[in-house]
A and B are shown apart, each in its own frame.
Chain A
Amino acid sequence: DTVLTQSPALAVSPGERVSISCRASEGVNSYMHWYQQKPGQQPKLLIYKASNLASGVPARFSGSGSGTDFTLTIDPVEADDTATYFCQQSWNDPNTFGAGTKLELK
């Protein structure tokens, strides 16, 4: 299975820009997607196919990358963005998720 590697945690101050990375063990074309999960809640789709903003998601969120290296950027970060962010690839079968990056605000 394709392994997706994410940094475990990040801490940033409100108003800053943060980049969350996801590296795939093999190429996934542009089929990388990003989700936000707040404590006790279900995941929420943020970005699909590397750079497409999901419906209703603020433009502060953006995605980039292709192949094996992908980035979710939040600019500027707001207090409400405290959450765990997961990447998911769907180019290789089965689709797989990263372990998540926990974003904390200083």
Chain B
Amino acid sequence: EVQLVESGGGLVQPGRSMKLSCAASGFTFNNYDMAWVCQAPKKGLEWVATISYDGSSTYYRDSVKGRFTISRDNAKSTLYLQMDSLRSEDTATYYCARPRELGHYFDYWGQGVMVTVSS
């Protein structure tokens, strides 16, 4: 059974950093691209970033370029999202998700972790 379990969320002040982790199991992690998708409170979903199966390629939405870094450790089957220079508008639930067919859709999602950016 595919499982994605996020951790690392919480309350953080504007301008500070936070790192999210996603532990994967139930599939061969290093065969798949991985992604982060966020959902602001009472709002819709928004793709954040994607990393290729081997970590060689990364893709970001414009609003997080230069501030967020997606990475992975295939030996640990773990995905990361380093978030720097956080802003209030980054407040959201962050989901780890598995993209399929060159990132067109997401077939498995974690339960999500809440990040609140506030002073």
**A97–B104 contact, CB under 8 A?**
no
Residues of chain A in range 66-94 having any CB-CB distance to chain B below 8 Å: 86, 88, 90, 94
Query: Residues of B at under 8 Å CB distance from A?
Result: 43-47, 61-62, 95, 100-101, 103-112
Majority-rule SS of A interface residues: loop
* B110 CB contact (under 8 Å) in A42, A45, A49, A54: A42
Residue numbers in A under 8 Å from B101 (CB-CB): 48-49
Residue of A at shortest CB range from B43?
A99
A97-B103 contact, Cβ under 8 Å, with A42-B109, A44-B109: no
**B45–A88 contact, CB under 8 A?**
yes
In whole angstroms, what is the CA distance A24 to B53 when docked?
30
Smallest distance from the beta carbon of B85 to chain A beta carbons, Å? 20
Query: Residues of A at under 8 Å CB distance from B?
Result: 31, 33, 35, 41-45, 48-49, 54-55, 86, 88, 90, 94-100
In whole angstroms, what is the CA distance A49 to B102 when docked?
13
* A42 CB contact (under 8 Å) in B44, B103, B111: B111
Residue numbers in B under 8 Å from A31 (CB-CB): 104
**B111–A94 contact, CB under 8 A?**
no
A90-B100 contact, Cβ under 8 Å, with A42-B95, A42-B109, A95-B47: no
In whole angstroms, what is the CA distance A97 to B92 when docked?
15
**B46–A90 contact, CB under 8 A?**
no
> Which of B44, B62, B109, B111 has its CB near the most chain A CB atoms (within 10 A)?
B44
In whole angstroms, what is the CA distance A90 to B46 when docked?
12
**A97–B110 contact, CB under 8 A?**
no
Residue numbers in A under 8 Å from B104 (CB-CB): 31, 33, 48-49, 90, 95
In whole angstroms, what is the CA distance A45 to B44 when docked?
15
**B44–A100 contact, CB under 8 A?**
yes
Residue of A at shortest CB range from B106?
A45
Residue numbers in B under 8 Å from A88 (CB-CB): 45, 105
Would you mind naming 12 contact pairs between A and B with Cβ atoms under 8 Å apart? A31-B104, A33-B105, A42-B95, A43-B95, A49-B105, A54-B107, A90-B105, A94-B62, A95-B103, A97-B46, A97-B47, A99-B44
